[in-house]
Amino acid sequence: MTRLLISTLFCLMAGLATALSQPLREYRLNGTTALSTLPRSNVVNDIRIFRDTVWLGTENGLTATADGGAHWFEFSGSDAPANNSISAVAMNDSVIWAAAAFTSKQADQSLPAGGGLFRSTDRGLHWVHIPQPVDSGLVDTLRDYGATGIRSLAITTEINNLTYDIAVTGRDVWIASFAGMLRRSSDGGATWRKVVLPPDTGQDFISATDTLHFDLAPTGGKAGLTGNLNHRVFSVYAQNDTTIWVGTAGGINRTTDGGVSWRKFSHQNQAQPISGNFVVSICGQDWNGRHLIWAATVNAEAADEVRGVSFTDDDGVTWKTALHGTFTHNVTAHDSVVYAATDDGTFRSDDFGVSWHRSGSIRDGKTGARIADAAAYAVAAAGDSVWIGGPEGLAVTPDNAGEPFGARWSVFRTYQPLASGASTYAYPNPFSPSQEVVRLHYRLNGTAGASPRATTIRIFDFGMMPVRVVVQNAPRPVGVDLDDLWDGRDDHGNRVANGVYFYRIEDGDGSPFWGKIMVLQ
């Protein structure tokens, strides 16, 4: 979701037409990016793939790889999206957009807030930071509809004004900003215009000739305005330059004239409706002459709404639903296959939602690295590769006739590298077994590439009584950083008490080495 204007220097070197087709790795010597062998964060909020480059929006900035995860680009500079929580990423041939978020302390509360947008027109070489769009005053009057216009709540704060999704068309960028509503810019983010969507009740369709009798407001009460859940915006998908789909807390909205006229689809206004009105992700699928729209639809306020996935092949006239009861964070399509990133793992369907296959456990067969938490926040696919990100890291699996989805994984996690030789630490530390697992991070003495060693890891309590055998005589590579996981239970499956625990790593090569863990429920 970007616009790409190649830098003058690179154009002189390679020519504009050539530059537009080059992968990200061509830019690694420009001095404004740095290469790392690790991603920036283990919490992945968004994944986008453009040509051969995988872009991640993480809790610690924007990062990208053009070689399958062997190296990661870190974008530096005063206006670059580094060290920010990135909530959304978008791009096209000429520009990259990233939305930032942060937590604001208000009295005794921690509230989400929008940190603005970052825009690059040269594939990340240089960036411009755009403050989170806000308004002035208390009430705006928008003159798009009817002679008297429509009253709109002025959003004057970054608090809850958080951008969850971005879509880029030929000349416009669209942002879904919850309290900030749906906004559009036609001048690269210099100015933003609020987009009017239908209200919760009374009108499921609005057009330019209408005189509207509702307020554009995500919440009511202020200045006598009436709030609408359909103005709390979470997702946006550009099917083309004029057909835009928008997901809110009140349903799905579709325009075919660039945002003037809208039709709303909700759980309440159709005979075959979406599963729930809280719509956190939308994507399109084109395959063999069929065009489908997929959405992650979560229950909102009505008792008969359910979590799941909703999809249509007739532009929203009717909907089918699947994965009932599953909280889906993100949905994407690639050729004939659709993927859904959920709290229960990533699901795959190659028959337009009739049947689904779940990813299962994720373990790197080469390094032994595991993703312990089943939840997935984002999924993207290109070629034969499917990338999945969530609260515990990033993983990629092939998906083709020779290697089915989920049969083989590569796991990418960031960590504090260890010094050479036998060494270890545990994280998070302290840890709570009721909420997480602890990772025993270690390195076996030796040269990378040497034969694996049979390794045993044992847990002891403070009195040095044995508690758990985590792994026993398991082959582990030497000379590289490794993780093994402990869930805080003993050999009988009982959760251990609070206190200090020790772990011992033995690999048959010299003396064992030790680490310490604090368990705190």
Query: Do 110 and 101 touch, CB atoms closer than 8 A?
Result: no
Q: Which parts of 343-390 fold into alpha helices (H)?
A: none
Q: What is the pLDDT of residue 33?
A: 61
Q: What is the pLDDT of residue 14?
A: 29
DSSP 95: B
Give the number of other Cβ atoms within 10 Å of residue 396's Cβ. 24
DSSP codes, 146-187:
TTT-EEEE----SBT----EEEE-SS-EEEE-BTT-EEEESS
Q: Which residues pair with 228 in a beta bridge?
A: none
Note the pTM of the prediction, 2 decimals. 0.89
Token digits of residue 390: 């969530």
Kind and range of the H or E run holding 20? helix 16-20
For the chain, domains (ranges, CATH) are 1-130 (no CATH), 423-519 (2.60.40.4070)
Q: How far is CA 251 from CA 205, 245, 361, in A?
A: 13, 11, 33
Q: How far is CA 448 from CA 39, 420, 441, 452, in A?
A: 21, 11, 16, 9
Q: Which of 361, 393, 363 is nearest to 377 (CA)?
A: 393
Q: How far apart are CA 287 and CA 127, in angstroms?
A: 36
Q: Which amino acid is at 83?
A: N
Q: Which of 480, 368, 505 is nearest to 417 (CA)?
A: 480
Q: How far is CA 26 from CA 14, 57, 90, 123, in A?
A: 10, 21, 20, 10
DSSP codes, 444-498:
-SS-TTSPPEEEEEEEE-TT--EEEEEEEEEEE-SSSEEEEEE-SB-TTSPBPPS
Beta strands in 70-108 (DSSP E): 72-75, 85-91, 96-106
Handedness of CA 347, 348, 353, 356 (dihedral sign): negative
Q: How far apart are CA 278 and CA 251, in angstroms?
A: 6
Query: Do 339 and 397 touch, CB atoms closer than 8 A?
Result: no
CA 66 to chain CA mean position, Å? 19
Query: Do 166 and 229 touch, CB atoms closer than 8 A?
Result: no
Beta carbons within 8 Å of 351's beta carbon, 6+ residues apart: none
User: Checking phi first, is residue 171 left (phi over 0); if not, alpha (psi -120 to 50) or beta?
Assistant: alpha
pLDDT tens across the length of the chain (521 residues): 332 222 322 222 222 222 223 444 444 434 446 788 899 999 999 999 998 899 999 999 999 999 999 999 988 777 889 888 999 999 988 799 999 999 998 888 889 999 999 999 988 888 999 999 999 999 999 988 877 789 999 999 999 999 999 999 998 999 999 999 999 999 999 999 999 999 999 999 999 889 899 999 999 888 899 999 999 999 999 999 999 999 999 999 999 999 999 999 999 999 999 999 999 999 999 999 999 999 999 999 999 999 999 999 999 999 999 999 999 999 999 999 999 999 999 999 999 999 999 998 999 988 888 999 999 999 999 999 999 999 999 999 999 999 999 999 999 999 998 877 889 999 999 999 998 899 999 999 988 888 999 999 999 999 999 999 999 999 998 988 999 999 999 999 999 999 999 999 999 887 899 999 999 98
Q: How far apart are CA 261 and CA 437, in angstroms?
A: 50
Q: Which of 31, 36, 72, 35 is nearest to 54 (CA)?
A: 72
Token digits of residue 123: 């594939």
Q: Classify residue 242 as exposed, middle or buried by CB count within 10 Å of its CB (0-12, 13-18, 19+).
A: middle
DSSP codes, 386-442:
EEEEETTEEEEEE-SSSS-TTSSBEEE----PPPSSSEEEEESSSB-TTT--EEEEE
Q: How far apart are CA 44 and CA 53, in angstroms?
A: 16
Q: What is the pLDDT of residue 448?
A: 85
